[in-house]
Structure 1
């Protein structure tokens, strides 16, 4: 019988986002979507100001942790096509 070892995340990285009091429910769909929007808004704002987009990394990690990959891919495709329903 082989031994199974739990993999630890690299230092400074986490797998589960911290609690967000705006989304206290078990269903985190709204949290996923809001962090996706916040990431893209942050990117847009930082690019417009000519600053580093490093602070936006938080939103990126949160939505990548919460959102199914298929949703993110579909939303990114919709953004490229100009058909995304959210306001970025």
Structure 2
């Protein structure tokens, strides 16, 4: 993994500003990072590569999303009823 990515993950405190979501309501930002985390994991796992770069998305969604949302989405993923496309 590149040194820049490792340094960003190590120095991570809270979700940085994302120009795609400029408004105060960060619901879409939360959901998008949740999807990006799972897409990243799926893509890198399929190629047999290290999935540690995906940790960035996980840290962002965990800092933005209420725990109950993430738990519910995880449960839906396990049950196969999750609405998002991963």
Q: Identify unmatched segments of 5+ residues in structure 1.
A: 1-11
Q: What is the RMSD computed on CA atoms of the aligned residues?
A: 1.3
Pick aligned residue for 1:40 from 34, 38, 47: 38
Runs of 4+ residues over 2 Å off in structure 1: 12-15
| Per-residue Cα deviation, 1:25-67 (whole angstroms, up to 9, x for no partner) | 0000000000000000000000000000011010000000000
CA distance in 2, matches of 1:13, 1:33: 23
Look at both structures and tell me which one has the larger radius of gyration over its CA atoms: 1
Q: TM-score of the superposition, structure 2-length normalised?
A: 0.86
In terms of fraction of residues, the more helix-rich structure is 2
Tell me which residue corresponds to 1:73. 71
Tell me which residue corresponds to 1:57. 55
CA distance in 2, matches of 1:52, 1:14: 20
Q: TM-score of the superposition, structure 1-length normalised?
A: 0.85
